[in-house]
Amino acid sequence: MVATDRALELTRAAAEAAADKLGTDIVGYDVSEQLAITDTFLIVSAGNERQVGAVVDGIEEKLRELDAKPTRREGYREQRWVLLDYLDLVVHVQHAEERTLYSLERLWGDCPRLDLGVEEKR
């Protein structure tokens, strides 16, 4: 099984929105082989809580344009690690410290990495 075209479309759009809001270390994985509940993961870092919120808001706004709304949103109040669940796509926006501590790439690094086609704006 591979990620659906819709999941890939949402993942690339979310990655673009994250880059526009100065998210860093943007990585996408096709997790469809390992998980039955979603097709792709997008992981993004942000330097502080305010930026985490800005990246999350940018992603939600961009995906709303594609008629996608998260079915679940967790961690927004603390803005250290925000999870947005779009069913086909799960977005993790993490404060840089959480990204280092939890190292999601270590857990999902054996999954195929997605070509997101975005350039980070530093």
Return the pLDDT at 66.
Answer: 98
Global confidence as pTM: 0.95
Residue 82's beta-bridge partner residues?
A: 93
Q: Is the pLDDT of residue 1 over 90?
A: no
pLDDT tens digits for range 88-98: 999 999 999 99
Q: Report the mean per-residue pLDDT for the chain.
A: 95
pLDDT tens digits for range 13-39: 999 999 999 999 999 999 999 998 999
Q: Is the pLDDT of residue 122 over 80?
A: no
Which DSSP string do the residues of 64-109 spell out, in sequence order? HTTT---SEEESTTTTSEEEEE-SSEEEEEEEHHHHHHH-HHHHHT
Residues for the chain: how many in total? 122
Q: What fold is seen in the domain 5-108? A: Beta Polymerase; domain 2 (3.30.460)
Stretch 42-59: mean pLDDT: 97
Distance CA 60, CA 50 (A): 16
Return the pLDDT at 120.
Answer: 87
pLDDT band, very low/low/confident/very high, at 109 (cuts 50, 70, 90): confident
